[in-house]
Structure 1
């Protein structure tokens, strides 16, 4: 652990190494690489929802709240400023607000940030200061004297995005587009038997279309950059279910481009170097694949009603598997196969480790026992 936690506060933008708008995958990857500094991290979420807000509690000082749909850092809470394990030094620009020798009080906040509106807390654009450990007053202490009020000790500091033009935003709203998102996928539109179109931040960025049987490994490198990993295909267990007589259709020369930072895998032919399959990951908390990939916010596009229909129907990653199955095939739900990803992971135990694989024409869904779709595969 650090001998001290030295952080600068940036209202509306972040705190120390944490930037609002950063993805959960990036933040947890950072914490994993800095286990010596942050050895105790609790992950809190609702296991019954794929779009649950997620809280990372980094003991003892930090709580990081991530939005439910896109898993981006929404709010940062710094608390227990006087806890010496480790001691906190907090700065704003060139001013030291709090340290092991200096207590941050109401009067210090006012001197640094200026006047604000009346209320129990001191609120400014992008940052607020509260004087109760849990943010709530029990109402039993009575009104403090003017001097006692000035000397109130700050117990919690909350950093969130600035609201534009006085806009009132819900605490669980999605994060507004900001520089921390640039270069990352905003949404991925899936078309069965075709491929996927990727839309990036900022919104003005041109989209990228990747087509099965058409796009090449070189196209991927040009459009998406180098993959974080290249993995040569060795697992042929699924070929036993193939309807083709030749089970060597996927040879050992095929390889994956793993874009963990985008939540996408591409299986590429070892002979033609053309994309054969595309796998998009939902990064659902509590599953075996959680945090191996960043969430890819995919949506499956259906057939337009007619040639003039410019808004064909779509179903999204957070919809229940039964709804997606009905969207893909309004008839009977296909038989499913069970997969336990913990079989290959010694020491990994999960409350519900098994997922179901549901196959349709051109697409396979992988879903949990709670009907959350953790991945889709196009072929």
Structure 2
């Protein structure tokens, strides 16, 4: 029986098949996981201590591919073809590797990479001289990297054969050079030019694969960054369109749908089965302008994760199905591809409606927004695209920003200074700055909605696992990321991982 192999056309500077340079990690992983027959093994490697700043590497060993993403934006920067026997690679309908009859009959047989002559004469054409890299200590072969716009090939070269005066065409055509050991696809004119800014320069193509390949019409513009302003205002900067301003307690669901498109899913909060235990929070606490880490807030935040589980099917619906449901007083609009969830509800149900009449969608407004960090190794990883945000602050008239790339300790130090006068006394400030632990991993089936617990203790411990399978959700060895801490500031609630990365920012509007 012939083994199924994936087939990829090469587009220099743009991508490999449907995998486009600039695509988000969420979009790529979601597409790969939807086709397990073609992509049976996905291995994700990342830094356990710096998952936001360091690059993320996705290996597809069964397909001979390696994909490299930047950490802050989680966008694809480099596609590497490492094993030419695992997949069929073509350029303008010409196969990259000329296979023998035996190779076609036995896909598991190791296939040598493409020769220089094949790449130069039949595929990519003339090129400028490349870059020679001397062998590392203990190695007998040097490396010659030859670039074309948007593509580079790596050849092994005997050091004694190298000369700066040698004609590279003659050199690479000789027996001193092996076939190409790998190919790389990137955005730029040459590999030496691209390499210094590989992970920092903004990609030309969008994060959305559908937008990049234009496979779907009328796709809403993607969100580049969210700016959080005072007074419950959020400015959503878009890739090509003008910014969208969302005002909590004023913007309607209809406004969202008109600008962002229909949500990917809607979770109706009525009938929630979440069990909450809040330790150390008094229900009779006096009113204050300081934020509260109350169970109601935590329940909202946690509920936004529930639309991804199979056993909540009675409470999750598509946008079209939800139009006829007017019985729920609250609903989460899940925008997985934008990187956030939106809670829509009535601003003040006790005064705005007749208790005999159910609420209608026309009564709803946006009351909370959850901006997800999509941190590798976290319990909620790959449920949303990463959302980048910035909190605009002006203490003492000087502009300061807290960003999604900061460690929470750094962000907290800034926010403590800004909101120091918001507390009644020093004791309240200390009490409100104490983090509360949220456990996401307990319960039947280890499902997100099974249980939610506030714990009194919090044990620190470094994460040692650097690589995990991307198939099947969270690896058992990642269980130390199940516990996260909640920290509150006026209008803001941070969910923080043990490595001090911000997993989610909840923005809500404080009552005056």
> Which band: TM-score by shorter chain?
0.7 to 0.9
Q: Deviations over 1:83-139 (max 9, x none)?
A: 3xx4x322212433224339620111111322331442221111011124xxxx6x5
Using the alignment, how far apart are the partners of 1:18 and 1:261 within structure 2?
A: 16
Other-structure match for 1:143: 161
| Correspondence for 1:35 | 36
More strand by share: 1
The match for 1:106 is 116
Look up the SS of the partner of 1:342 in the other structure. coil
Cα distance in 1 for partners of 2:365, 2:34 equals 34
Deviation at 1:211, TM superposition (A): 1.0
Shift of residue 168, structure 1, vs aligned partner:
4.9
TM-score by length of 2: 0.65
1:3 deviation in Å?
Answer: 1.7
Q: How do 1:1-379 residues align onto structure 2 when only pairs under 5 Å count?
A: 3-49=4-50, 50-60=52-62, 61-81=64-84, 83=85, 86=86, 88-101=87-100, 104-111=114-121, 112=123, 113-119=125-131, 120-132=144-156, 142-143=160-161, 148-149=174-175, 152-163=178-189, 168-170=194-196, 172-181=198-207, 183-202=221-240, 205-233=241-269, 234=272, 253-269=329-345, 271=359, 272-303=363-394, 305-306=396-397, 312-330=399-417, 331=420, 334-344=433-443, 346-347=445-446, 349=476, 350=478, 351-379=480-508
Indicate how the Cα distance of structure 1 residues 378 and 150 shifts in structure 2: closer, same or farther if over 3 A, else same. same
Deviation per CA, 1:171-223, whole angstroms, max 9, x where unpaired? 54235342334622211101243131111113xx2001111111011111111
SS class of match (2:120): helix
Bigger relative contact order (CA 8 A; separation at least 6): 2
More helix per residue:
2
> For 2:382 and 2:40, how far apart are their aligned partners in 1?
17
Q: 1:274 Cα deviation (Å)?
A: 0.6
Distance in structure 2 (CA, Å) of the matches to 1:150 and 1:107: 14
CA distance in 1, matches of 2:328, 2:127: 68
- In the alignment, the residues of structure 2 paired with residue 59 and residue 255 of structure 1 have an alpha-carbon distance, to the nearest angstrom, of 41
Higher-Rg structure is 2
Q: CA–CA distance in 2 between the matches of 1:363 and 1:4? A: 48
> What is the aligned-residue RMSD (CA, Å)?
3.0
Equivalences, count: 362
Long gaps (5+) in structure 2 = 101-110, 132-143, 163-169, 212-220, 288-294, 301-326, 347-358, 421-428, 447-473
Distance 1:92 1:305 in 2: 59
Q: Following the alignment from structure 2 to structure 1, what is the Cα–Cα distance between the partners of residues 266 and 119?
A: 51
